[in-house]
Chain A
Amino acid sequence: MSEISTKTVAQTETLNAFATLRFSGDRLEPDRVTGILGIQPTTAYRKGDVYRQSRGHEVRGRTGVWYLSTRRCVDSNQLADHLRHLTAVVSPEGRADHILALRDLMARDGLEADVSCFWYGGAGAHSPEIPAFARDVFARLGAAIELDFDTD
């Protein structure tokens, strides 16, 4: 294979992909979401909490957020692998589904749920499809899916 064609293949690769699951609302109590899902979030805070120190600045929550990102816990550039991880958190295979409990909590505390899919590819790369299993699980949860796809 020539040097030129090798570079062409490399440029069409996925450079990064991950997904996030987020619950938010002014009355959100992070421990309630953690208690249902049995997994620690990447970041969680109540409305008004200082949740991060950055360059000497305090970052304060404008609303409550429970946020799980697969970026550092799923070692894959395939978006489907990241979505499979999130669906397994919400609806674990062979165990009780958390969706009903989450929907009850969302209704009681006025929370919203959403899922974001981040994908970045080299020039000419084709963006991925959202697998049906993910669309199904997140629809049952009542979580909107947001796509953030981009290329060089």
Chain B
Amino acid sequence: MDTRKRPPRQPKTPRIIWNGPDNPTNQVATTLGIPRWRLRTAVHEIKKRSKLGARDGITIYDDGTVRDANGEHVGDIYEDSRAD
């Protein structure tokens, strides 16, 4: 039996996969594991609901978190890309 003590598991820090005012690319959708049209749908809803303009920049993380240019949490790609 292995009695060595394992180090505590560190929570994974979400990684930025998109940052800017333009439309996120297919690579972002692939990283999140969803079709690009679902990603675009989610980004549109999040921006409209949050009173962000089309050209306002957002940051998307690999766990689906979306933050505005001030770093405020404004939504989640997975929540907003669910099937209609």
Contact = CB atoms under 8 A, between A and B. Distances in A.
A62 B47 CA distance: 12
B49 A148 contact: no
Interface of B: 23, 26, 35-38, 40-41, 44-45, 48-51, 54, 63, 65, 72-76, 79, 84
B30 to A, nearest CB: 13
Give the 5 A-B residue pairs with the shortest CB-CB distance, closest first: A57-B73, A120-B37, A15-B37, A118-B44, A54-B76
Interface stretch (A66-74, A94-102, A130-138): A66-74
Contacts of A52: 75
A150 interface: yes
Contacts of B50: 59, 62, 65
Interface stretch (A1-9, A16-24, A32-40, A85-93): A16-24
A65 to B, nearest CB: 5
Contacts of A118: 40-41, 44
A127 interface: no
Given A15-B37, A55-B65, A63-B51, A116 B44 contact: yes
